[in-house]
Structure 1
Amino acid sequence: MADRPTRAPGPYRALLGSRVRAQFSYRASFAADVLANVGTGLSEFATIYVVFSRTDELGGLDVWQAALVFALANVAFSIADLVVGHVDTLPTLVRTGALDAFLLRPLPVLAQLATSDVALRRVGRVLVAALVFAVAWPRAGVEFDGRAVALLVVAVLGGAAIFSAVFVVAGSLQFWLLDGREAVNSITYGGSNAAQYPASLYSGPLRWLFCYVVPAAFVAYLPVLVLLGEPGPAGLPAWLGWCSPVAAALLWVVALLLWRGGVRHYTGSGS
Structure 2
Amino acid sequence: MGSIPLFFRLVGASIGGQARYPASALMTTVGQFLGTGIEAVAVWALFHRFGDVQGWRIGEVALFYGLVNCMFALADALGRGFDVLGTEFLRTGAFDRLLLRPRPLSLQLMGNDFRISRLGRLLQGLAMIAFATQQMGIAWTPGAVAIALLAVAGGVALFLGILVLQGTLAFWTVESLEIANVLTYGGVQAAQYPLALYARWFRRVLTFIVPLACVAYYPVLAILGKADPLGAPAWVGLVSPLAGGVFLAAAFGVWRIGLRHYASTGS
Match of 1:173 in 2: 169
Pick from 191, 214, 218 the counterpart of residue 214 of structure 2.
Answer: 218
* Sequence identity percentage: 36
1:230 Cα offset (Å): 2.4
Match of 2:53 in 1: 58
Q: Tell me the number of residue pairs that the alignment of Structure 1 and Structure 2 aligns.
A: 266
Matches within 5 A, 1:1-271: 7-92=2-87, 93-234=89-230, 236-271=232-267
1:218 Cα offset (Å): 2.2
Q: Which amino acid aligns with 1:13?
A: F
SS in 2 for 1:175: helix
Match of 1:3 in 2: none
CA RMSD of aligned residues (A): 1.9
1:195 Cα offset (Å): 1.3
Per-residue CA deviation, residues 120-175 of structure 1 (Å, 9 max, x unaligned), is 11101111111121122121243332222221121122222221222212222222
Which range is displaced more, 231-240 or 185-194? 231-240
Taking structure 2 as the reference length, the TM-score comes to 0.92
* Partner Cα separation in structure 2 for residue 36 and residue 126 of structure 1: 12
* Partner Cα separation in structure 2 for residue 235 and residue 89 of structure 1: 41
SS in 2 for 1:120: coil
* Partner Cα separation in structure 1 for residue 203 and residue 54 of structure 2: 12
SS in 2 for 1:268: coil
Which range is displaced more, 43-52 or 74-83? 43-52
* Partner Cα separation in structure 2 for residue 82 and residue 53 of structure 1: 33
Note the residue ranges of structure 2 that are not aligned, 5 or more in a row: none
1:243 Cα offset (Å): 2.2
Q: Which amino acid aligns with 2:156?
A: A
Change in 2 beyond 3 A, CA 1:219/1:181: same
1:90 Cα offset (Å): 1.0
1:254 Cα offset (Å): 0.8
Change in 2 beyond 3 A, CA 1:268/1:60: farther
Q: Which amino acid aligns with 2:255?
A: W
Which range is displaced more, 136-145 or 260-269? 136-145
1:261 Cα offset (Å): 0.5
Which range is displaced more, 224-233 or 82-91? 224-233
* Partner Cα separation in structure 2 for residue 40 and residue 210 of structure 1: 25
Taking structure 1 as the reference length, the TM-score comes to 0.91
- Answer yes or no: is the 8 Å Cα contact 1:199–1:207 preserved in 2: yes
- Answer yes or no: is the 8 Å Cα contact 2:29–2:118 preserved in 1: yes
Q: Which amino acid aligns with 1:203?
A: A
- Answer yes or no: is the 8 Å Cα contact 1:72–1:219 preserved in 2: no
- Answer yes or no: is the 8 Å Cα contact 2:215–2:241 preserved in 1: no
